[in-house]
Amino acid sequence: MKLYISEGNPHCLKVLAALELTGVQCDVQCVTHEERVVPFLSRPALPALLLPTGVYLFSSNAICQYMFEVSGQESSDICSQWFEWEATELQPALLQALHMAVLQGKGAEVSKVLQGPLNYLDQCLSKRTTPYLTAETVTVVDVVLWAALYPVLSDTSLALGERKSMQAWFDRLSGTRACKAAAQKVLNGKGLEGMKSYMQRQPAPQSSPRRDAHPSNSSPTEGEEGERVVSEEEMESAALTWSKGLSSCPVATERQHPIVPQEGKRNVLLTSALPYVNNVPHLGNIIGCVLSADVFARYGRLRDWNLLFVCGTDEYGTATENKAREEGLTPQQICDKYHAVHSSIYKWFQIDFDFFGRTTTEKQTEIAQNIFWRLHERGFLLEDTVEQLRCESCQRFLADRFVEGICPHCSYPEARGDQCDKCGRLINAVELRDPQCKVCRQTPVIQSSKHLFLDLPKVESQLVQWLEKSTGTGDWTANAKQITRSWLRDGLKPRCITRDLKWGTPVPHPDFAEKVFYVWFDAPIGYLSITANYTDQWEKWWKNPQQVELYNFMAKDNVPFHSVVFPCSLLGAQDNYTLVNHLVATEYLNYEDTKFSKSRGVGVFGDMAKDTGIPSDVWRFYLLYMRPEGQDSAFSWADMALKNNSELLNNLGNFINRAGMFVSKFFEGCVPVMELQLEDKRLLAQVGWELRQYIQLLDKVKIRDALKHILNISRHGNQYIQVNEPWKKIKGEDTDKQRAGTVTGVSVNIACLLSVMLLPYMPTVSQTIREQLNAPDSCISTMLQGTGSFVCALTAGHRIGAVSPLFQKLEADQIEALKKKFGGQQSQTTTQNAAPAKPAAAPAPAAAAEVVNGADPEKAKQLTQAVALQGDKVRALKAQKAEKAAIAAEVAMLLDLKKQLVLAEGKSPEPAPQKGKKK
C-alpha cells in the first residue's frame, strides 16, 4: 500500500495518526498540493491511499476506517453516526473557521462559528463514562475528530472558551506518541501558519455561518434558506452512502394486533386528546390533536418503533345531555350517532389509529372507580360543601362549560365556568361576574351541594419532582411548559372531581351515590379504558413506566389537565402508572380572520372537507404546513390555493413527474446507468443533509418544520434538472447522453426518497409515487434508518411503472366559491329566505358591501409577495432558456396569481371603462 499526503493539509493529519496508531505497513510519500495522484479525478485529491488491488481511497475518513479494519478493529454503528456528524456538521464549520483564521486574520471571530459543534461534542463527552468517545480505548472516531480539531484546539490564541470534558479528551489524545508524530509531520510545529499554502488553494466558504451545528429543533423561515457550504468530505461521504444501496433488513410487515410492549424495542404509547362526541371537529381540532398525532405515529412506525396509537370519543357530561334533549334522543343514542360521525371524518382524513374507542364503557367505569378508591384509601380526597350555579329555568345545576361570564382575573367577557380561554387561569363558576346560563341565557342562582375534591396540595411535591424530570428529559412544547408553570406558580388548590349530573361515570361512594365524576377527572382515564378495550394486556402499557414512553398530543387549552390534574390522580393512586414523557401542544388554528363557528356557518368542519372535492392528502398537507407550533395561525383559502399550486403542483409534483417522465420517454421505462460527477455528489450531500434534518426534527416532534425539508429537496431536484437539461443532452453525443442518464437516474432516486419522507404527511400520494416508480418496499425501512441514509434504491435497469401527474391546480373561481360557502353567507342566506322580501332598491349595509366588493387587504399582501416571487421565477427560467412548456406553465401561474390579486384588491378583473374620454 502507498499513502500520499501533503504538508499543511489537515485531512492528512487524520490518516497519519491512524497509520501510527494501527501500525499498518504502508509506504508514505509527501507530494505537493497540486499533484494529481488519483488518475481518474480531474482535480487533486489528498490524502490518497493506493491499495494492492490498484484501487484508490481518497476520502480521509474512509482511509482511517480502512486502516483500523485492517488492524482488526471494526467500526460500530455509533462510529458511523460520528463520521456523519463530522462530515456534515463539523467540517463545514471548520472550513469557514480555518478560512477566517488562516487567510483573513479574523481569529477572534472563530469561536462564534465553532461554538455549536464544540458545545455538542463537549456535552456528549460529559455524558460518557469512558475516557474516549465510544469505548475505553482509542477508536477510529477519536482519531478523526481529534485530527479535524487539532489545528484550532492546539492554537491558544483563538480563545475558544473552556469546555472541560472536550479539553480533557483532546489532551489525552494529543499526548499519545502517534498523534504527536502525525502533527509534527503535517504541520512541522508551525500551527495554523503551516496550513496557509493549503488553505489558499481551497474554495472560499460562504460568509454566512452554519444554521445548525448539531441536531436542530427548528427550521429557517421561508426566504431564509441559503445555499449550504458542502465540504469535500461531505460529498464523498454522501457518495459512499449512496453506493451502499438498499439494506437487506426485513421489510416491515402488517401490524400484528394486539400491539404490546416488547423487550429491547422502543415502546411508544401515543394518545390524541379525546374529542367531545357531540361536536363535529373543525380543522383546528383536527390539526391540534388527531392529525399531528397521526403524522408522528406513522413516522414512528417507519422508524421501527413498537408504537400504539389510541384515541376515542369523550362521551360523558352535560354537553351530551343537552344535545340529546335538542335532538329528542337518549344520551347513549347521541353518543352512538356522533361516535360514527367522528370515525367517518377521521377515516377520510386517513388517521391511522390502532384503536379508536369511546368512554361510555364498562372498562371506563371499572378503571375510574378503581383509581377513585385508591385515592380515597390513601387520603388524597377531601369532602367539602360547594356553592354552585343552578339555572331555575332549566331546573339543573350548571356544568362549567354551560355557564359563561366575565373573568374575575382579566375581565374577558366570554370566560367559561372552569377556565378563562384568554388568561388561562382556573375559575370556579361562582367567581364569574354577570354569569349566564348558555342554554337559556337566564341568570343562575347560587345553591350549596356536598362534593369530593382531589387534594392537589398533598400531591404537589411529588408532582413537582416528577415534572422536573419529565420536562427536563422529554420533548415538551414551550407552551406546555409555560402553562404548567403558571398553574404551579401560585400553589395548587383542591380540585372538585364530582358533579350533580346523571350522564357520567357513577361515583361508587354511598354518600355520593347521586353524583358522577367530573369530566376532567374522568375523561383522561379514557386513555386507559380505551386501551383496555383494545387489549386485556393494557397494564403492560399503562403500568410500565420503565419500558414505555408516553406521548400526549393536544391543543394548548387541554395542557393543565394532562400536566397537573391527571398526573396527580395517577401519582396519588400509587399503582406504578405510566406518566406522560412528552407533552405536545399546539396553539390555535383560526379560520381566515375569525373563529370557527358551526352555528354561524363559519369555517370548514370535518364532515364538509370531503365535499369540497379537494383530496384529503392536500388538506393534510396544508394543515400541517400551517400547523400552529409556536403561535396561533390561520387557515386561508387564498393561501391554501397558493401552497397547493406553488409547493405541491409546481415544486414537488413537477419534479417527481419530470423525473419519472424522463425515464419513460428517454430510457424506455428503465433507470439508466449513473456515473456520478462532482455536481451529482454535491446534490447527494445536500439531499442527505435535508433528510437528516427531517429526521432530527420529527424525532423532536417538529412536524411543520420537518415538512419544509421535503420541499427543499424537491427544490434542489428541480434546480438540478433545470441546470443539466437532460431533454437536450439526450439528443447529443455519447457523453451528453450518458450525462442525461445520470441526471435522470439521480432524479428518479430522489423522487423515491421523497415518497418515503412524504408517507407520514401524505400517505396516498406517497403510495402513488412508489407505485409509479415500482419502488421496492425495502426503500422505506432503509432510508429512515439511524440518522437517515439516501441510498440508490432504483438501480440501473430497474423498470418503473406508468407515470402521471400527482396534483391538480386549484382555480381562483373554485377557491372564491369555497370561501363564500364557508364564510358564514350560508347562514345569512337561510335567514334571508325565512324573512319577508325587502324592496330591491333598499341599500345594503356597509359590511355586506364589503363582502360584495371582495377586498381583502391581508390576502392582497400575501398575493403581492407571491406575484413578485413567481415573476422572478419566470425571468430566471427565460434567462436559462428553459423548455417552452416549462416557461408557459410558470407564466400561466403568474397570470393566475395576478388575477387573484386584482380580486383581493377589490377591483374588477376586466379593465374599467375610462370616463369622459372619446374612443
869-900 pLDDT tens trace: 676 666 655 555 556 656 666 777 777 777 77
Helices 812-821 and 884-904: crossing angle in degrees, nearest 10, is 30
Give the contacts of 264 (CB within 8 A, at least 6 positions apart).
none
pLDDT digits 0-9 by tens, 521-567: 999 999 999 999 999 999 999 999 999 999 999 999 999 999 999 99
77 has pLDDT over 80: no
What gap in Å lies between CA 796 and CA 462, rounded to an integer? 61
Which residues, at least 6 apart from 529, have a Cβ–Cβ distance to it below 8 Å? Answer: 357, 359, 361, 363, 364, 366, 367, 368
- Chain centroid to CA 482: 21
Give the span between the Cα atoms of 579 and 571, in whole angstroms: 9
With 70 as the cut, is the pLDDT of residue 368 above it?
yes
The string of pLDDT tens digits covering residues 387-405 is 888 899 888 788 777 899 9
Burial 13-26 (b: 16+ CB within 10 A, else e): bbbbbbbbbbebeb
Q: Where are the beta strands (DSSP E) in 545-700?
A: 548-555, 582-586, 589-591, 633-635
Q: What's the CA gap between 851 and 602, in Å, rounded?
A: 14
CA–CA dist 477, 347 (Å, integer): 27
Q: Is the peptide bond before 47 cis (omega within 30 degrees of 0)?
A: yes
- Compare 873 and 380 and report the one with higher pLDDT: 380
Residue pair 540/353 in contact (Cβ under 8 Å)? The answer is no
Strand ranges of the sheet holding 355-358, from the earlier edge strand across to the other edge: 355-358, 306-313, 267-272, 548-555, 582-586
pLDDT band at 208 (very low <50, low <70, confident <90, very high): very low
Residues 291-316 pLDDT 10s: 999 999 999 999 999 999 999 999 99
Averaged over 352-365, what is the pLDDT?
98
Helix (H) or strand (E) holding 496: strand 495-496
DSSP 326-375: HHT--HHHHHHHHHHHHHHHHHHTT---SEEEESSSHHHHHHHHHHHHHH
The predicted structure's pLDDT at residue 878: 59
Q: How far is CA 384 from CA 450, 507, 572, 711, in A?
A: 6, 15, 19, 58
Q: What is the mean pLDDT of the chain?
A: 86
Please state whether beta strands 415-416 and 396-397 pair in parallel, antiparallel, or not at all (unpaired).
unpaired
How many helices (H) and strands (E) would you count in the chain? Answer: 37, 20
- Integer Cα distance of 146 and 493 in angstroms: 55
pLDDT score, position 348: 96
Residue with cell 419532582: 465
Q: In which region does residue 462 sit, left (phi positive, over 0), alpha (psi from -120 to 50) or beta (all else)?
A: alpha
AA identity, residue 176: T
The predicted pLDDT at position 166 comes to 93
Q: Which residues, listed in sequence order, are joined to residue 404 by a DSSP beta bridge?
A: 416, 436
Average pLDDT of span 747-765:
98
- 516-517 and 498-499 beta bridge pairing: antiparallel
Is 690 a residue whose pLDDT tops 50?
Answer: yes
Question: 912 vs 153, 908, 909, 915, 919, CA distance in Å?
Answer: 70, 7, 9, 9, 14
DSSP helix/strand/coil, 270? strand
* Rounded distance between C-alpha atoms, residue 650 and residue 894, angstroms: 12
Looking up cell 409534483 gives: 653
CA dihedral (474, 479, 483, 489) in degrees, to 10, reads 80
Residue 17 CA to residue 350 CA, distance in Å, equals 55
Could you check whether the bond before residue 258 is cis, i.e. omega within 30 degrees of 0? yes
Quick one: the chain helix, strand, coil %, rounded to 5? 50, 10, 35
Distance separating alpha carbons of residues 409 and 372, to the nearest angstrom = 32
Tell me: pLDDT of 269 over 60. yes
219 exposed, middle or buried (CB, 10 Å; 0-12, 13-18, 19+)? buried
Q: Does residue 288 register a pLDDT over 80?
A: yes
Tell me which residue of 301, 311, 294, 300 sits closest to 255, measured CA to CA.
Answer: 301
